[in-house]
Amino acid sequence: MSRPVQARRLEGIDKNIWVEFVKLAATYSKVNLGQGFPDFPPPDFLTEAFTRALGGQNHMLHQYTRAFGHPPLVTVLAQFFKKLLGRDLDPMTNVMVTVGAYQALFCCFQALVDEGDEVIIIEPFFDCYEPMVRMAGGTPVFVPLRPNPPKDGKLMSSADWQLDPAELASKFSERTKAIVLNSPNNPLGKVFSRGELGLIAELCVKHDVLCISDEVYEWLVYDGKQHIRIASLQGMWDRTVTVGSAGKTFSVTGWKVGWVVGPDRLLQHLRTVHQNSVYHCATIAQEAVAQGFQRELRLYGKPESYFVQLPKELQQKRDWLVQSLDGVGMKPIIPEGTYFLVADISQFKSDVPDVPNSDEPYDYRFAKWMIKSKGLAAIPLSAFYSEAHKNNYTNFIRFCFAKEEATLKAANEILQKWKQEKTSS
Amino acid sequence: MFLASRNFCCHGIRTCQLRTDLLSRSIKHSTSATMPFRHKNTRRIEGLDSNVWVEFTKVAADPSIVNLGQGLPDISPPSYVKEELAKVAAVDRLNQYTRGFGHPSLVKEGDEVIIIEPFYDCYEPMVKMAGAKPVFIPLRCKNDGNSASSADWVLDPAELANKFNSKTKAIILNTPHNPIGKVFTREELQVIADLCIKHDTLCISDEVYEWLVYKGKKHIKIATLPGMWERTVTIGSAGKTYSVTGWKLGWSIGPEYLIKHLQVVHQNTLYTCPTPLQEALAQAFWIDYKRMDDPDCYFHSLSRELESKRDRMAQLLKEAGLKPVVPDGGYFMIVDVSMLNVDLSDVDEKQPYDYKFVKWMIASKKLSAIPLSAFCGPETKKQFEKYIRFCFIKKDSTLDAAEVILKNWNKQTG
């Protein structure tokens, strides 16, 4: 073609860390702690619900369901979130189902961000926020979480990474349309405290700004901490869209079922985007997820609840990986939530050959080298930073510990061997 | 729509004291329903909130209504397709993310996109959402309005040529066509291809009904015409191919340099499609690929099954005094209802005749269909408002129920 075939809205958003690293991991890695998905099976009760739906009499489950969400699913989500938010929810207007939380985010940005709007993004951030804001014609404005290491020399916790209140306030302007909050936070694992959320809420209310709250890891919270939903804070319900994910909730990332919960006056615009893009989501997966939620509603707070068992299991895995990494001299930052942890690799600088004049940040080079030469896959932390700030945090890599014992053991073996090589050399 | 009120609470106040005052005031305001709220919709979705499906699915939801409206099969998908999914659901790793890839990122503000009317309704809002301008061209009935077949509906080549200009980025082709059921002939495709090549235009070819083509007709892929592969994106659907609309799996096929832009959009919107469903679909495709020359192949057996339903539907409609346009492909049939002379002038709504007719038909005959003007641009609504669209991919009992209604119709209207 003689003229540029692609639309300008794609400028700068063609690169994607996952495409690159998923390929590398597939080619070289023996142990993949990179991309965030569980390698353990989903809970039986969920896959059984799927199989039951398939084999059942109702073959209409293979056809289109309600565009904005399969009725049994939106109904149980409304019931569940009514409990969690302390507010009556209408399943038809306060809940919408999407193809994964990813598409929920897409609908948020397309519906609410116009050309020239500013959107505040807290760094480090799940990488899709930036390209989605840009694709909507918006301008991302970044504000970092800053590490405040404990004075006693103990390992850092994700709680030690904090926003500077004055710095955050300075990012709000007349053009600010929304702020994206992700708690528990990917990649750090930070669980924002009530005080921290209160600070953000205050600014949102003061500047009449929307909040897009990505809470996909809402159930993965450790050490008795509590996940607080910003939509439940004063003045926030009317201006918040809360995003959730069956993939993360039930360990079925491949089912691609997500949702948004919020006031009708915001969700009506997300519905417009949805009906003009994807329109419906796969029926059978929604049916099975609805049954999963019905079970969890019955067992809410009880020891057999998956939402109680899963974080318990993952906490053990977290502790195991922390020990493993600490043992070899990588400094893990203990996450309060999610199934990710970030480790400081400064001590390993000497291992990775220096590439003069490379425009790739150190952690990218390190991670790629580690995959190829050690067969262990992780993701460089600077992937979760804006272009302008990538070079500020190049000594960290992110591991995913939602993995079977065998996988974590194998990772430990690689790390131990590596440590031995270093001490003997 | 909301009031724009960007200055609410914003007087450049940065000190703590005043901030607290504002905060307490704003909290009171935010719980009131009349709070000035600047969060209106983005410009890109302006006017796209109404949708014929949302409107008519609600009205036809009453289970006592025989629903020949929305296009979804009420027949069962082939059993091996369901079995493949059951097998796949038992394999743990297939419940997690798969390879990221599987929309026109090719259309931008200021571009024009040609849409042939009537058209599957989503094309227009999608073009607008991309910031481009839809340019319409209608299919016109050859025989002075006396149409017995979808083949009677054709494009005027001179009229079509006039729609192309330097701003034309793409043309959307849908063959077999929804709602008319037209299967574009090689000659007709050549006319379109020639214009695409001459004006360096892309072709977005929606071929979701590609397997549903009836006796004597052949589906031709425009991408196979000389000069077209490099400028065509061909779209397909598992939902239509295997009668599993609820699986929501589709695909785009085309040259790498076009598909890579679709991949960028995909990775920034959905990222992946459900894994178990893709796996099961792949298995089902292998089964049918191996028996493509066999009459039992689902791609052939389904169109045979549908052809007899088509013929039955056409017969019933004729007996009821209606004029069906028998489709060469797809599972929809449009019908001219004007000779019934149903007087709806007392119905107050400012809607086209066919919208009013369908609502009346649902309420008084318990039979639903979709008004054809839902598939038209603003200029042609008048031309098509005497037609309604029936979907015939329905099980026998549904068609039996429709038969009863149609047979009794004659008696009642006399």
Residues of B in contact with A128 (CB under 8 A): 268, 271
- Averaged over B302-327, what is the pLDDT? 92
- Averaged over B222-228, what is the pLDDT? 96
Mean pLDDT of chain A, nearest integer:
91
Is there a contact between A265 and B39 if contact means CB atoms under 8 Å apart?
yes
Cα–Cα dist B78/A57, whole Å? 14
Mean pLDDT of chain B, nearest integer:
80
Write out residues 269-298 of B within 8 Å (CB-CB) of A. Answer: 269-277
Of B246, B257, B261, the CB nearest to A61: B246
Is there a contact between A10 and B261 if contact means CB atoms under 8 Å apart?
yes
Closest-CA residue to A90 (of A261, A232, A285, A288): A261
Q: What DSSP string runs through A65-82?
A: --TT--HHHHHHHHHHHH
Which residue has better confidence, A241 or A278?
Answer: A241
Of B89, B105, B257, the CB nearest to A7: B105
Three-state secondary structure call for residue B374: helix
The sign of the CA dihedral B342, B332, B239, A101 is negative
Q: How do residues A387-413 score in pLDDT, each as one tens digit? A: 889 888 889 999 999 999 999 999 999
Is there a contact between A103 and B257 if contact means CB atoms under 8 Å apart?
no
Q: Is the distance from CB of A275 to CB of B54 less than 8 angstroms?
A: yes
Q: How do residues B192-217 score in pLDDT, each as one tens digit? A: 999 999 999 999 999 999 999 999 89
Cα–Cα dist B105/A8, whole Å? 9
In the prediction, which pLDDT does A14 show? 60
Would you say residue B121 has pLDDT above 80? yes
Q: How do residues A180-234 score in pLDDT, each as one tens digit? A: 999 999 999 999 999 999 999 999 999 999 999 999 999 999 999 999 999 999 9
Which residue has better confidence, A75 or A361?
Answer: A75
In the prediction, which pLDDT does A357 show? 64
Cα–Cα dist A359/A336, whole Å? 33
CB contacts < 8 A (A, B): 245
B30 touches chain A (CB under 8 A): yes
Would you say residue A5 has pLDDT above 90? no
Cα–Cα dist A138/A142, whole Å? 13
Residues of A in contact with B264 (CB under 8 A): 6, 10, 13-14
Of A10, A19, A174, the CB nearest to B105: A10
Residues of A in contact with B102 (CB under 8 A): none
A241 touches chain B (CB under 8 A): no
Q: Between the CA of residue B303 and those of B215, B312, B393, what are the distances in Å? A: 9, 14, 10
A275 touches chain B (CB under 8 A): yes
- Averaged over B36-46, what is the pLDDT? 57
Cα–Cα dist B23/A206, whole Å? 6
Q: Minimum mean pLDDT among A189-193, B6-10, B240-244, B386-390: which range?
A: B6-10
Closest-CA residue to B106 (of B51, B173, B41, B168): B168
Residue of B nearest to A269 (CA): B41
Residues of A in contact with B23 (CB under 8 A): 202, 205-206, 235
Would you say residue B150 has pLDDT above 60? yes
Structure tokens at B139: 């299919």
Of B23, B86, B98, the CB nearest to A51: B86
Residue of A nearest to B123 (CA): A276
Asked whether this complex has an ipTM greater than 0.95, the answer is: no
Cα–Cα dist A317/B128, whole Å? 49
**To probe the interface with A, which of B15, B23, B41, B67 has the most A CB atoms within 10 Å?**
B41
Amino acid at B341: N
Cα–Cα dist B87/B376, whole Å? 43
Could you say which DSSP state residue B2 is in? Answer: P
Q: Is the distance from CB of A227 to CB of B1 less than 8 angstroms?
A: no
In the prediction, which pLDDT does B41 show? 55
In the prediction, which pLDDT does B56 show? 67
B267 touches chain A (CB under 8 A): yes
Is there a contact between A276 and B31 if contact means CB atoms under 8 Å apart?
no
In the prediction, which pLDDT does A279 show? 84
In the prediction, which pLDDT does A100 show? 93
Shortest alpha-carbon distance between residue B410 and chain A (Å): 32
Cα–Cα dist B353/B347, whole Å? 10
Cα–Cα dist A312/A332, whole Å? 20
Residue of A nearest to B76 (CA): A59
Model confidence band, residue B25 (pLDDT cutoffs 50, 70, 90):
very low
Q: Is the distance from CB of A109 to CB of A83 less than 8 angstroms?
A: no
Residues of B in contact with A251 (CB under 8 A): 95
Residue of B nearest to A23 (CA): B99
Is there a contact between A64 and B245 if contact means CB atoms under 8 Å apart?
yes
Of all residues in chain B, the percent with pLDDT exceeding 90 is 42
**To probe the interface with A, which of B95, B168, B281 has the most A CB atoms within 10 Å?**
B95
In the prediction, which pLDDT does B102 show? 28
Residue of A nearest to B92 (CA): A41
Write out residues 210-239 of A within 8 Å (CB-CB) of B. Answer: 210, 234-235, 238-239
